[in-house]
Structure 1
Amino acid sequence: MRELGRRMLGRCLTLLAAGHQTWRRSLQVRIVTITLVASSLLVGGFSYLVATKITNILQENARTDVRQRLESGRDYTAKQMAVYSRPLEAGLQDTMVGTVDYLAGGDPQQISGVVVQLRADRSGGVIESRASPNVNVDLLLTPQLRESVSGGNVASQIRSGDLGNGRAKYLVYGSPVPTRMGQLELYYFVPLSRQDVTASEARSAVLAMGVALVLLLGLLAALVTRLVVRPVRVAARTAQRLSAGLLDQRMAVSGEDDLALLGASFNQMATNLQRQILRLEEMSRLQRRFTSDVSHELRTPLTTVRMAADLIFAERDEFDPAVARSAELLQAELDRFEELLTDLLEISRFDAGFAMLDAEPTDLVPVVNRVVQRLTALAERIGTSLEVEIPDGPVIAEVDPRRVERILRNLVGNAVEHGEGRPVQVRLACADKAVAVTVRDHGVGLKPGEEKLVFNRFWRADPSRARQTGGSGLGLSISVEDARLHGGWLEAWGAPGQGAQFRLTLPARAGDRLTASPLRLVPADAAPPFAGQRAGEPAALTESPAATDPKAVAP
């Protein structure tokens, strides 16, 4: 029994969930439901008022008829009893019998359901009460009604009882009849069965019309809503196809109404968007081709200039100091130019979709140590110490070691450059399905909103700062693309005066989907408020439990 109850509860919850989902997703269902509920309340209230009014009218008509008959019967009874001055006179009882039979309709056996009774006042005691037909009506006479009539008033009430033809509702009217031998009481018992049947039929008719009206209103609302919602749904499906890249999708337009105007406007908008997108794609293609062609074409003159510059730089000791300094500057700028050219070629490969991932099982511990060792000299020249925290054992992941090393070199180099001479911390950790590296500096940090710009091409937090490493401004942009190529995340956190921290999270096996990171994005010693940024992660993925930044989005 308990198991059956649980099953029933489960089915009810499932139906409620399905209904709630349908309510949220379907505009037509909401409009039809609201229309049905509102019209049901309105029609129900109107039907109740109409049925009540009809019942009241029928009862009032019955009261008016009974009052008229009561007044006529009272006068007739008074005339019949005027010849008697004492209760014990001969013929009094026969006169009462004839009077009530006449008032009831002349047939003491069947008088259309109306019962008439003539009885003596309570103060009397020798006059016997008479009713036509001869039934017991005492159950329908309440003490309150008898008392009111005995006081000389015309009184009425509605009571239910059985007077021989089954239980029914009766309208009881009583009136005093003054005579020379004392006051008599005349009562009419009129059945309300016909009025009840008429009122019930009226209520049924009103209810049936109300239900039909509600259903008609619901059907009308469904049809009207369908006429409005259907083009909207078509527009939504067309918009989804357009967003999926099917730029030739259009809505079917028929007629000249507002919905047709909406469809025509939507199609015109789609055409303009298609034209603009195609133009932008062509411009982007030309730009990428131009960048790639220029980068490749610059290779040959750069090689020639590099050879000449190397020769001049090797003989700089034989030149005067001004020329020797010019040779050193030429060598340094050629290094920066060659690095920029290499980065441009890499960016052009990413833009063209030609970048390939050469993943292989790699121990990341030597990769991290190698990056730190190569940047130790730069850190010592600036006065920054590099602190490394890595696991004792190997950290194996299926990655492209060249790209991972380039990402870490960019991150550590930026941390050293913007660390203001304070220590830079590099941490490596692993989990079952992910590995992560964080690079933390304690420099000026990032202002609110800058964490969303830090991965943009050629963006710098402070354009007035002199570069110590001579970077091209494309390092973090390339790092983002490398992380995305691995299916990983590259995230940034920063706060003014608290420094910045970058976190690289990669799947342990190539092709796996990341759901969490083994390291925190926000440092434990960071004080709120802070900001965070995740690059290379789809918007549907959730933040790792360790990272507390709720506003991280992919650039």
Structure 2
Amino acid sequence: MASPKKRRRTPRQVVRGIRRRARRGAGRLRRVFWRSLQLRVVTSTMVISIVVVAVLGVFLMQQIQQSVLESRVRAAISEAQADRNAVLGFLTQPESETSEQAADPGEAAQRSGDSPLSQATEALAQRAGSASRYSVIIRNANLPGEFFGTTNIEPKSVPERVRAEVLKNEAGKNDSWFVPLYYADREEPVRGVVIGTRLDTTGAPQLVGDYEIYHLVPLDREEKMLASLQQMLIVVGSGLVLLLAAIASLVTRQVVIPVRLARQAAERLASGKLDERLKVRGEDDLARLAASFNEMAANLALKIHQLEELSQVQRQFVSDVSHELRTPLTTVRMAADLLYDAREDFDPMAARSAELMQNQLERFESMLADLLEISRYDAGAATLDVDSVDVRDVVLRAVADSEALAERHATRFDLRLPGEPCMAEMDSRRVERILRNLLFNAIEHGEGKDIVVTVGADRDAVAVAVRDHGVGLKPGEENMVFDRFWRADPSRARTIGGTGLGLAISREDAMLHGGWLQAWGTPGEGSQFRLSLPRTAGAELRGSPLPLVPPEVEMRRTWRGQHMTPVLSPASADGGRDEE
């Protein structure tokens, strides 16, 4: 069987994949950077060290370069002054004296054709020795195409702007310019400095025009020396930065390790290990911090132990009182039943008293039952009787138990159940009690409006949402509503006569299943309670198949916030799965 052909990715998809991986990598680096104090200190030290070393290195390099070039230019100017006098001597010497210096006639005839400029150039070439020291170019303004130079120097090494400046200066004045030098035996130009001066020919009337002499000094040796010095500065600066980073790492390590140990000890202390302590070494600030931490841990353990004992006493007291009250309550209940059954034979006042006593005894029995249930949760004695049931059947039974109360409050149930079975492993008695408490609460606070009961399920979880359109909840009350004996409005009279423990017990039942019981509410828009349970008993609940915020409310928020066509939120559009 041939394997399916792998689909080729487009360049845009490749670029998107690279961007996603880059963002993930950058996110990991940011998390590591902000979680490590030592890494931040070392990084900051390296950045500051690099900036300081770079600034100092550039400053020192500029100073050294300026000093080397200035010393080289001063030496070149002094040599140019001496060579200027030598050239002037050749130019002002009579031509007959030059020809008589030859011993035989043939040599004299040959030398007689040489000009004083060529003789001066040869003499300067011998004085310079080599082109690496300096070269000389002699020119005359009246002879544009003619020049005399030494050591293969090219005439274009002296730009026209330099010649113009030299001709404008007074005779004997030396100026310098940094220019590229061109040689006939080299392909690439060499950076150098040119020293230009104009000869004073006032004492030699036989000379025609202004003569210029240029000393061209190559700076390749100086550049090599400066390049080596720059490399040395970079190596030394890099070593210094690494050394400072190592020192910062060692110094911060001495501080970070005790802090890290304190953090780990605090985490273990927060997880319940009250005997966790730090080792105290020395007498510095970190040692005093460890001692203070140990003292705090000891005091905290003592307070927690005292609170546990007090809580245990309170739980035992509630349990004992609840059990002890059941015996006299049974006797009173029997007498009350007799009076209630015979109330028709009493006068109206006595009959009404018998009815009130019967109602209050029922409320008292309900409160005792809730207190006993709470005491079992506090003692950790509550257990589950798990069975695989259809959530829809549990919801229908809870709704049936609440129908009579809903009719008295002119309230109607709107059931939204899935068409397929929603099987889950749960204690149906406890879940049914949760739903009854939620329905009673919705009836009491729903102000006679319809109550929507929604059932949802996915592969891992099932959920039931009870939505009313009554007074709603204020910000922050969505968590307080599950506290024992808490009431949103103490001045509001109870219409059902609950004990104030129903939602607290419901939350304990949900947590016993490994599920969630959450509330949402907004003043004027009602409230919604959502029960989310895992399908398999003992499994971890990662999300809920129903949204906590009703979809219609989310649509209105989207409309008001974006001023566009209302759309369902992503949580509602894909089945409404919410994460905790």
Q: Could you tell me the TM-score, scaled by structure 1's length?
A: 0.84
Which residue of 137, 141, 156 corresponds with 1:122? 141
Other-structure match for 1:68: 78
Deviation at residue 118 of structure 1 after TM alignment: 6.0
Instruction: Give the Cα separation in 1 of the matches to 2:147 and 2:465.
Output: 111
Q: Aligned pair 1:149/2:170, yes or no?
A: no
Q: Describe how 1:162-173 pairs up with structure 2 within 5 A.
A: 162=183, 168-173=190-195
Which residue of 266, 281, 285 corresponds with 1:258? 285
SS in 2 for 1:178: coil
Deviation at residue 422 of structure 1 after TM alignment: 3.0
Deviation at residue 198 of structure 1 after TM alignment: 3.1
SS in 1 for 2:544: coil
Deviation at residue 243 of structure 1 after TM alignment: 1.2
Deviation at residue 258 of structure 1 after TM alignment: 2.5
Instruction: Give the Cα separation in 2 of the matches to 1:185 and 1:195.
Output: 27
Instruction: Give the Cα separation in 2 of the matches to 1:199 and 1:78.
Output: 36
Q: Describe how 1:15-94 pairs up with structure 2 within 5 A.
A: 18-84=28-94, 93=114
Q: Which amino acid aligns with 1:149?
A: V
Instruction: Give the Cα separation in 2 of the matches to 1:58 and 1:294.
Output: 101
Which residue of 231, 247, 263 corresponds with 2:258? 231
Instruction: Give the Cα separation in 1 of the matches to 2:154 and 2:244.
Output: 51
Asked if structure 1 preserves the Cα contact closer than 8 Å seen for 2:514 and 2:540, the reply is: yes
Q: Describe how 1:437-516 pairs up with structure 2 within 5 A.
A: 437-516=464-543
Q: Which amino acid aligns with 2:72?
A: A
Q: Describe how 1:96-111 pairs up with structure 2 within 5 A.
A: 99-100=120-121, 103=124, 106=127, 110=129
SS in 1 for 2:571: coil
Asked if structure 2 preserves the Cα contact closer than 8 Å seen for 1:515 and 1:544, the reply is: no
Q: Aligned pair 1:274/2:301, yes or no?
A: yes
SS in 2 for 1:510: coil
**CA, structure 1 residues 188+479, in 2 after alignment: closer, same or farther (shift >3 Å)?**
same
Other-structure match for 2:107: none
Instruction: Give the Cα separation in 2 of the matches to 1:103 and 1:24.
Output: 70
**CA, structure 1 residues 169+384, in 2 after alignment: closer, same or farther (shift >3 Å)?**
closer
Deviation at residue 357 of structure 1 after TM alignment: 1.1
Q: Which amino acid aligns with 1:298?
A: L
Asked if structure 2 preserves the Cα contact closer than 8 Å seen for 1:441 and 1:500, the reply is: yes
1:89-122 deviations in whole A, cap 9, x for unaligned? 877858656655655565x7x3584345363513
**CA, structure 1 residues 129+421, in 2 after alignment: closer, same or farther (shift >3 Å)?**
closer
Asked if structure 2 preserves the Cα contact closer than 8 Å seen for 1:28 and 1:225, the reply is: yes
Q: Aligned pair 1:545/2:571, yes or no?
A: yes
Q: Which amino acid aligns with 1:400?
A: D
Deviation at residue 358 of structure 1 after TM alignment: 0.8
SS in 2 for 1:34: helix
Deviation at residue 346 of structure 1 after TM alignment: 0.5
Asked if structure 2 preserves the Cα contact closer than 8 Å seen for 1:175 and 1:185, the reply is: yes
Other-structure match for 1:160: 181
Other-structure match for 1:537: none
Other-structure match for 2:360: 333
Instruction: Give the Cα separation in 2 of the matches to 1:209 and 1:113.
Output: 31
Structure 2: 5+ residue stretches without partners: 1-7, 102-111, 558-568
Instruction: Give the Cα separation in 1 of the matches to 2:336 and 2:269.
Output: 54
Instruction: Give the Cα separation in 2 of the matches to 1:278 and 1:553.
Output: 35
**CA, structure 1 residues 119+447, in 2 after alignment: closer, same or farther (shift >3 Å)?**
closer
Instruction: Give the Cα separation in 2 of the matches to 1:170 and 1:391.
Output: 92
Asked if structure 1 preserves the Cα contact closer than 8 Å seen for 2:370 and 2:501, the reply is: yes
Deviation at residue 360 of structure 1 after TM alignment: 0.2
Q: Alpha carbon RMSD of aligned pairs, Å?
A: 3.7
**CA, structure 1 residues 95+341, in 2 after alignment: closer, same or farther (shift >3 Å)?**
same
Structure 1: 5+ residue stretches without partners: 531-542
Asked if structure 1 preserves the Cα contact closer than 8 Å seen for 2:135 and 2:153, the reply is: no
Q: Aligned pair 1:203/2:227, yes or no?
A: no
**CA, structure 1 residues 243+69, in 2 after alignment: closer, same or farther (shift >3 Å)?**
same
**CA, structure 1 residues 544+307, in 2 after alignment: closer, same or farther (shift >3 Å)?**
farther
Other-structure match for 1:178: 200
Instruction: Give the Cα separation in 1 of the matches to 2:430 and 2:21.
Output: 55
Q: Which amino acid aligns with 1:117?
A: V
Asked if structure 1 preserves the Cα contact closer than 8 Å seen for 2:181 and 2:218, the reply is: no
Other-structure match for 1:285: 312
Asked if structure 1 preserves the Cα contact closer than 8 Å seen for 2:551 and 2:572, the reply is: no
Deviation at residue 403 of structure 1 after TM alignment: 0.4
Paired residues in the alignment total 534
**CA, structure 1 residues 380+9, in 2 after alignment: closer, same or farther (shift >3 Å)?**
closer
**CA, structure 1 residues 26+160, in 2 after alignment: closer, same or farther (shift >3 Å)?**
farther
Q: Which amino acid aligns with 2:52?
A: L
